[in-house]
Structure 1
Amino acid sequence: MKKKALHKDFRIEIKKTWTRFLSILLIVALGVAMFAGLRACKDDMLQSADEYYDSTNLMDLRVISTLGLTEDDVEAIGKLDGVSMVEGAYSKDVLLHFKDSDIVVKTYSLNDTINKAKLIEGRFPENNTECLVDTLLLDNTGYKVGDTITLSLPEGDLKDDLKETVLTIVGSCTDSRYMAFGRGNGSIGDGKISSFIILPKGNYKQEVYTELYVTVKDVMKLNSYSTEYEDRVKIVQENIEAITEERGNIRYEEVTKEPREELEKGEQELAKAKEDLKLKEEETYAKIEKGNSSIEEAQTTLTAMRKELEDKKALLSSTYPKEAIDNMFAPEEVKLKASEDELKNQKFVLEEQRAKAKEQFAKAKEEIALNEKTLQEGRDELSKVEHPTWYVLNRDTIESFVSYEMDADRMDAISKVFPAIFFFVAALVCLTTMTRMVDEQRTQIGILKALGYGKMSIAGKFIKYALFATVSGSIIGVLIGQKIFPYVVINAYRIMYGSLPVIAIPYRPYYAILAGSFAVLCTMLATFMACMKDLKAEPAQLMRPVTPKAGRRILLERIGFIWNRLNFTKKSTLRNLFRYKKRFYMTTIGIAGCMALLIVGFGIKDSIGVMSELQYTELFHQDASITLTEKITKEKRDSLIPKILEDDRVLDATLIFDKSMKFSNGSLNRSASLVVVESGSNYNEFYTFRNRNTKTTYHLNEDGVIITEKLAKLLSLSVGDTITIEMDNFNKHNVAVTAISENYMGHYVFMTSDFYHSLYGEEPSYNQILLINKSSAKEFEEGLFRDLLVKYKDIMAISSTNTFNNYIHDMLSSLDIIVYVLIICAGMLAFIVLYNLSNININERKRELASLKVLGFYDGEVNSYVMKENNLLTLIGMVFGVFLGIVLHRYIIITCEVDMVMFGRLIKPMSLIYSAGITMIFTLVISLFMYFKLRKIDMIESLKSVE
């Protein structure tokens, strides 16, 4: 019987005080929705991406080799433990003519099993004259399905690479490797890849694959961002790395076999030619020498015959006349003369043979020397063919894969802070509400105690009341929160990750139970605390009216020159504020919490949005960064700066050395970029080193380094400390930190080239050139970068700071909707808190307000009398909320930061104004609601004695 009465009373209480019940339900629903919804956001974001990856069978590993990859490599990797599938693919950076310029696109081969394209429009290509294009290409260029495009290279055509270069667009697609809008950098054109185009494999003329895609067994059921997934992929990655040397040697032998055989054949032919030439030369000159010897013998004989003839003539000269003697020996003279002429002719012929042989042998030797030079060039070319290097890369090398996880982590950090504040404020409101409910039913509690009801039976009514409201609110909060919040958040991030087609928002029981448990714990604790005081009192004491609080003078009354100038209503308002201390504290804390949440919402947007503005305008001044090829010589590198500066579109340029290294401080270590600038250069035109708080500028010197602020924080370093630079395990140097500079994106350690030389004993191998352009307009930069890439072959890629800055802005714009959701929720909380506390205030003071009506106060005057208190409490709460918001904003910003990023610490003045304005708007709306409630106060009913 007792239980039936209490149950009936419980139902009547809910019906009679449905607004109070609804206020508890709503504030619990809001808190649970925030907690369960926001905490589920990270899991839902990652699951959405993972389902997209699974639907396209995104590769788990990508294998690249400097000498290409063969079918044998595919077979070898496919036999390894843990490998599910392996597929070879081709790729090539090309130019696509658009309007009056060329844009860079990356072509891929159409894959059968791995990295499958997701068709959006049209169909897949069926022959070499058809292609599938990136949806971004259609959006940015105006091309449509059915149009014809032509591919080319900066110099020459693609005949050696593609069978067909004039292609028909038959469809558009997305690729899970490019979930964000960035398409990476290329080595041709302006250095920026705009889109991708997918071609049939048969269109490529390449003999070997550009890369291999690998999937791992039994990981499809795992989330791609889980530790278990990473561990399984790591095992297979190590297995592939274990065969890279063997496969590399095999590929090296394949590549060098034919030229090596040709060289060996050429060397053999050259050796034979040398030997044949030598033999022929010896034989020819031997014959010439033999003929020369015969001539010399004949010459000797003729000389002897001539002497003998002359002797005979001389002997007869005294006896016969000269003419008679000449006639006597004329036949012999003729014969001898003929022999001498013949011998002279033989000498001439022999000299001609010698000269001709010498000329022929000289030509043969030149030909041999030329062949020898050609062979040496072949040897040199062969020696330049290095053993191939294999790179086994996981999904962490996919830019959008990593950035998406970082965004999910940031969302998770926010979700751990905001719901806690909501629950705290909700607990305060529940405490106030239930305390008021218990105070209203003091007499009934006293009667129930006098009738013999136990404390727990009496308290059960209030506990059930709060429990029913809490459980109902929790169910509503979970049902709504775990669908709306993740959907809004993921949909907001799709602004940046445009190709994400899946939004997975399942109910997650863990967060639902956790949120509901927190809500029940808060409300039950608040209800129990509200009941304890009255349940301890005696029945007779409870059945008497509560003794009114004694009036006390407030501090302001002692300041006469202010107090005496206040009218009656203002004095009454001020007295009431401090008379009802519980309401004062609850309202102030509630409004302060809501104001703080609004400031945090706007402040997050301010702090994140200011990052790129500060980083790339006030700290880093370069407009572009040129990456040089690894094999560039020092002479060519040093000559590049003057040549680039000859272009009147470039205002300034400087060389830097930029390399990722490991930096440590005892047990703490982080990867960061070591940036070496030329000593004595104008590096201050490209970098500003300064203190974030004082704006004091720093300069590099020759006895230490400047490190960035976030790196200093992660390594627990301050100015004067020592940081260890680890180029490798055997090359470590301890250097002094001379300054800590403001920085927001990435970690950097700066030093001069002279200091680098003192550490490593050599000049830094500069690998980048920083540019300051005459203009940062998109068309201007594209033209400049395209010309530089064409003109200088040692330039590998050019990255535009402006393009990256715009990318950051696009990325951060996705946070706007999330921030707006937080602001709306904070506004709703402010509304519920103000409404609930204002409602309690009016209910507590019905007799007082009825008395004012009886005395002749109009409804508007009574409303003004009450709302002045609310407005003043709101203002006080807002003041405290500003300080709380600044502290909370700093905590959230630090919590949300990832290792490589430092958010700004800025809250713009307009954000404070917006937060205050929203809070005041809700106060005015509540005033309007309360006005109608005040009008309904029954003067006679309210003035009846509570007894």
Structure 2
Amino acid sequence: MNPLTRNMWRDIRKSKGRFIAIILIILLGVLIFVGVKAAGPSLNDSLNKTVADKNLSDIQVMSTTGFDKKDLKLARKVPGAQVESTKFKYAIGGKSKVAVALYGYDKSAKQNQLIMRSGRLPKNKNEIVLDKNAKSEYGYKLGQQFKFGSDADLKQKSYKIVGFADSPQYIDNQSRGSTNIGDGQVQLFAYIPKQQMNLSTATVLNLHFNSLKDKNTFSKSYKDTVAKKMKLLKKQFKNRADQRSKNLSADGLKTLKQQQTLVDQMKQVDPSAAARQQARLVAAKAKLMHQTKTTYTWQTRDDLAGFSAYGESSDRIAAIANVFPVFFFLIAALITFTTITRMVEEARSEIGTFKALGYTKWEIAKNYYYYAISAGMIGAILGAIIGNETLPRIVLALYKQYLPLDWVVTLQWQTILIAIVFSLIATLGAAIIVIRKELVEGPAALMLPKAPKSAKKILLERIKPLWNHLSFNSKVSYRNLFRFKSRMFMTIIGIAGGTALILTGFGIQNSIAASGNQQYSDIFDYQAIVKMNDQADYSKVDKILQKNDQYQSNTAINSTTAKLTANKDQVNDVNIYTPKSISEFKKYVHLGTNLKKNDVVLSKKTAQLLNVKAGDKISVKRTGGKKVSFKVKAITRNYIGHFLYLSPKAYQKHFNEELSANTLLLHLQKQTKSQRKSLANKLLNSGEVMGTSYTKDVLNTVSKMSSSLKPIVLIFILLSGILSFVVLYNLTNINVSERIRELSTIKVLGFYNNEVTMYIVRENIILTIVGIIVGYGVGNLLTAYILNQAATEQVIFPLTINWTGYVTATCLMIVFTAIVMLVTHKKLQHIDMIGALKSNE
């Protein structure tokens, strides 16, 4: 081993702390960068594998009158389509009488295969497979009976439970969709043998395309291809609804005509009995004409319960990954760059000695390059492996309680390569820059210490009354701070970066939770929405409400949905709210503006998507209606969904029709889940109500979204804290090593150990306070940027950081500073004063 290499190993042994610190800083930076970057793809890959393995349908079509062989033949004309039909209906079942999505099980079906969690699939006619939630939330066990109500219209009412399963159609365990029976919310899905369902035809058509199996289900490419397939399918079924309605109607009328002939003959024998039968035939004819109207519901995967929300959640993590870890990594790289720079500068005399001995510039430089490469590569490789293999799995484990997923975690080579390149720039790059600068000087100059920076008057000295009252030690500390500006700025950047990262972790979680809380407290001040049937008797509904102990009051509005366009932009599914009474409406929805004066008010996110402001015009097209032009008078804040608020006057003027209420907004006292369900059931059973939705359910969904991020945020905070500590410790070590002669001098002059420590620590305290304050500002800016990136078309997040975030970030920084103080104090007690003062004389 040549002297240069031996010297390098000696340097590593002598300064193990610094070498390990460089490795740790790089490791943490790469870990969070690669780990968080890998989390989004892992979520998408896991879902893609799950839906691909179980052949989730790409398109589903539902029909009110079912599908026959001709319908299947038409669907198969779509290129590449694999077509299956399924018997499906909603039914009330179980001990709790919940709404169940009931499917007819067909063992030959290839699509939408169940993911068995326990038990087996049905083999006999009296067997049923239940949703896994039936076991976890309702306490059902294998071998028990599950009963349906008579309205379910099945071959038998009771079925033996033989298995519990997950389904790729219900990817979110917290959501099973909505229906028009029970309380309006589907609680479970179930499968019984298809022969047990009294349906003459299948009611759902499933289409799957093998060519799409390997595509990311959330990618633009997949969605565009599905949209094209859907267009072709709709083209095949263009006139099919009317044709099928006529055929079914003709068959029904033929049967009724035969019955009418019998009634006509009966009139001569028993006129009263004939009259009763005639009345039944008229009713049967009316019912037939209603039932045989064929309508189709077209669905893609995005329409499945919880599916698009999962995609948005994955996008949200990807948005965080584009900002948070990058900032984290930049802080790590900056501190590493500084550490390597200082290390090389400290070795000036050694470089000068080797240069005087005749070693070439390359021979001298390469050992420092090896040192930098070793530290950078060890940190980068360890960080990449740990980050890629742990953080995505932690995220998947968190989602597993909500989603039935097969885990897929692959190495993100592109991200790892980027991390390694930046790690080497921070380590090797610093070494190259500084060594080239040092090697320009001659051996004699290098072997002498650098001339100290000349002292200059600082701003504080010019404020005489304040400066004169400072102690000698304080004056020295302030002069040193401004004398070594690069050290000051690096320490402030390190502490501010750590504070900002911790604050951002809290801010992400707080802001996501705040979107729901502010929407349903500051803006929407109602607890339930009751959607009424056409021609509903409001007095019946009012009687039910008055008997409810939690009911307080209601207001009637007209609620509809529309498509809005402006500046060639478009927003679908915008809710239009028009109150019957503006003065009453104010108690339920707080717009922050006078609706009577500003009679067309648009929600903020909708306005942003349409690129409009107050005074601009928008086009509004209700479902089945014509396009109408409105002038937006005001923009109102809103966090979830899209809303357009109209005054009664504006509604009548633009739509040219009388305003009729179809929705009630309810003020309710605090309710339990069973109380909410009971009220919704009573309202639905009245026959006047289409369904009831509660704001509490929306808040629960937002709360779940926020809770799922808690452990991820804790990981961010933990790693940010470790990075902050390592940075502070490292910079303090550099500070001490740079000023070892200065510290030895004041110790020789008679300063006590505590005074010597405070000589350094006093500067750290000032820089820590400044760093924390700067970190508050940077943390807010960073959080705001991430939230802007994480916002979806439907949801935006208000910047919210609770006081606990500020307190935690501040306390952690104070604790880290205190620990570094103690370590520095111990180190300064053992300074070799004579050795330090003799060096480079």
**Same fold per superposition (TM over 0.5):** yes
2:134, 2:758 → 1: CA distance? 62
Matched, 1:416 2:322: yes
* 2:203 matched residue in structure 1: 210
Q: Look up the match of 2:155.
A: 163
Instruction: Name which of 2, 26, 29 aligns with 2:27.
Output: 29
Report the TM-score, using the length of structure 2 for normalisation: 0.93
Q: Give the counterpart of 2:526 among 622, 626, 630.
A: 622
Which moved further from structure 2: 677-686 or 593-602?
677-686
**Is 1:662 matched up with 2:657?**
no
- Is the deviation greater in 189-198 or in 4-13? 4-13
Q: How far does residue 547 in structure 1 lie from its aligned partner after superposition?
A: 1.1
Deviations 1:118-144 (A, max 9, x none): 111222232232222222222222232
Say whether the 8 Å CA contact 2:560–2:622 is kept in structure 1: no
Q: Say yes or no: does 1:149 pair with 2:146.
A: yes
Residue 884 of structure 1: aligned partner = 778
Letter in 1 for 2:371: Y
Determine helix, strand or coil for the equivalent of 1:664: strand
Residues 764/515 of structure 1: CA separation in 2 closer, same or farther (3 Å cut):
farther
Matches within 5 A, 1:293-304: none
State the distance in 2 between where 1:371 and 1:431 align: 95
Structure 1 position 832, deviation (Å):
1.5
Matched, 1:488 2:409: no
1:105 is aligned to: 100
Matching residue within 834, 837, 851 for 2:731: 837
CA distance in 1 between counterparts of 2:155 and 2:284 reads 30
Task: Give the alignment of 1:361-380 within 5 angstroms.
Answer: 380=286
**Alpha-carbon separation, structure 1, partners of 2:784 and 2:85:** 49
* 1:179 counterpart (168, 171, 179): 171
Question: Counterpart in 1 of 2:707?
Answer: 813
1:157-556 mapped onto 2 (5 Å cutoff): 157-158=150-151, 161-180=153-172, 181-265=174-258, 380-385=286-291, 387-450=293-356, 453=359, 455-495=361-401, 497=402, 499-556=403-460
Gap change, CA 1:852 and 1:703, over 3 Å in 2: closer
**Partner Cα distance (2:388, 2:209) in 1:** 32
Inter-CA distance 245–741: structure 2 relative to 1 (3 Å threshold) = same
1:591 aligns with 2:495: yes
Write out aligned runs for 1:14-93 (5 A): 14-78=12-76, 80-93=78-91
Letter in 1 for 2:812: I
CA distance in 2, matches of 1:569, 1:370: 110
Deviation at 1:622, TM superposition (A): 1.9
Asked if the contact 2:352/2:443 (under 8 Å) is kept, the reply is yes
**Contact 1:413–1:892 under 8 Å retained in 2:** yes
SS of 1:701's partner is coil
Structure 2 residue 718 is the aligned partner of structure 1 residue 824: yes
Change (3 A) 1:485 1:106: same
The alignment partner of 1:685 has SS state of coil
Asked if the contact 2:33/2:325 (under 8 Å) is kept, the reply is yes
CA distance in 1, matches of 2:542, 2:824: 76
Give 1:130's aligned residue: 127
User: Which residue of structure 2 lines up, in the alignment, with residue 678 of structure 1?
Assistant: 580
Q: Secondary structure at the match of 1:503?
A: coil
Cα shift readout 1:4-40 (whole Å, capped 9, x = no counterpart): 5544444443343332222222211211222221111
Deviation at 1:410, TM superposition (A): 0.6
How large is the RMSD of aligned CA atoms in angstroms?
2.9
Bigger-Rg structure (1/2): 1
- Contact kept in structure 1, 2:375 and 2:427, CA below 8 Å: no
Q: Which amino acid in structure 2 is aligned with residue 444 of structure 1? A: E
Q: Any conservation in 1 of the 2:29–2:333 contact (CA below 8 Å)?
A: no
- Separation in structure 2 between the aligned mates of residue 841 and residue 143 of structure 1, nearest angstrom: 66
Code of the aligned partner of 1:171: G
| Equivalent AA in structure 2 for residue 597 of structure 1 | L
2:526 counterpart SS class: coil
Match of 1:688 in 2: 590
**Alpha-carbon distance in 2 for matches of 1:72, 1:786:** 39
1:654 touches 1:683 (CA, 8 Å); kept in 2? Answer: yes
Distance of 1:621 and 1:508 partners within structure 2:
46
Structure 2 residue 601 is the aligned partner of structure 1 residue 706: yes
> Aligned with 2:450: secondary structure?
coil
How far apart, CA to CA, are the structure 1 residues paired with 2:185 and 2:626?
36
1:749 to 632, 639, 644: 644
CA contact (8 A) 2:129 2:164 kept: yes
Deviation of 1:618 after TM superposition, in Å, equals 2.0
Mapping for residues 630-641 of structure 1, pairs under 5 Å:
632-633=534-535, 636=536
SS in 1 for 2:161: strand
Once residues 200 and 366 of structure 1 are traced to their aligned partners in structure 2, the CA distance between those partners, rounded to angstroms, is: 45
Task: Name the count of aligned residue pairs.
Answer: 836
In structure 2, runs of 5+ residues without a counterpart are none
Bigger shift: residues 826-835 or 667-676: 667-676
Give the CA deviation at 1:71: 4.4
Residue 382 of structure 1 deviates from its aligned partner by: 4.6
Contact 1:430 1:527 in 2 (8 A): no
TM-score, length basis structure 1? 0.83
The residue matched to 2:122 in structure 1 has which SS?
Answer: coil
Question: How far apart, CA to CA, are the structure 2 residues paired with 1:90 and 1:913?
Answer: 55
| Alignment-derived partner of residue 946 in structure 1 | 840
User: What is the rounded CA distance, in whole Å, between the counterparts of 2:447 and 2:188 in structure 1?
Assistant: 80
Q: Structure 1, residues 506-556: CA drift from partner, whole Å, max 9, x if none?
A: 112111112212222343443333334323334332232211222333333
Q: Closer, same or farther in 2 for the Cα pair 1:944/1:642, shift >3 Å?
A: same
**CA pair 111-538 structure 1, distance change in 2 beyond 3 A:** farther
Q: Following the alignment from structure 1 to structure 2, what is the Cα–Cα distance between the partners of residues 246 and 424?
A: 61
Structure 1: 5+ residue runs without aligned partners?
Answer: 278-359, 691-697
- One-letter amino acid of the structure 2 residue matched with residue 476 of structure 1: L
Per-residue CA deviation, residues 130-171 of structure 1 (Å, 9 max, x unaligned), is: 22222222222223222223221xxxx24x711222222222
Kindly indicate whether the alpha-carbon contact (under 8 Å) linking 2:761 and 2:821 is maintained by their aligned counterparts in 1: yes
Whether the aligned pair in 2 keeps the contact of 1:240 and 1:392 (CA below 8 Å) is no
Q: Does the CA contact (< 8 Å) of 2:218 and 2:311 recur in 1? A: yes
- Aligned match of 1:772 in 644, 647, 667? 667
Secondary structure in 2 aligned to 1:824? helix
Q: 1:796 aligns with which of 671, 690, 695?
A: 690
Instruction: Output the CA distance in 1 between the equivalents of 2:15 and 2:345.
Output: 14
Match of residue 566, structure 1, among 470, 478, 483: 470
Deviation at 1:735, TM superposition (A): 2.0
Does the residue aligned with 2:212 lie in a helix, a strand or coil? coil
Q: Decide which moves more: 243-252 or 542-551.
A: 243-252
- Does structure 1 conserve the Cα–Cα contact (< 8 Å) formed by 2:93 and 2:146? no
Inter-CA distance 647–844: structure 2 relative to 1 (3 Å threshold): same
Are residues 410 and 525 of structure 1, via their aligned partners in 2, closer, same or farther at CA, if it must alter by over 3 Å? same
Query: Do 2:90 and 2:181's aligned partners in 1 also have CA atoms closer than 8 Å?
Result: no
1:904 equivalent in alignment to 2:798: yes
Alpha-carbon distance in structure 1 between the residues aligned to 2:154 and 2:180: 18
Helix, strand or coil at the partner of 1:946: coil
> What is the distance in 2 between the residues matched to 1:914 and 1:492?
24
CA gap 1:766/1:532 in 2 versus in 1, 3 angstroms: farther
Matched, 1:120 2:117: yes
Shift of 1:584: 0.7
Cα distance in 2 for residues equivalent to 1:759 and 1:483: 58
Match of residue 95 from structure 1: 93
SS of 2:644's partner is strand
CA distance in 2, matches of 1:378, 1:815: 56
Deviations 1:75-132 (A, max 9, x none): 543454211242423232213224xxx3333322335322222111222232232222
> CA shift at 1:368, angstroms?
8.5
Instruction: Report the Cα offset of residue 621 of structure 1.
Output: 1.7
Are the counterparts in 1 of residues 170 and 176 from structure 2 also a CA contact under 8 Å?
Answer: yes
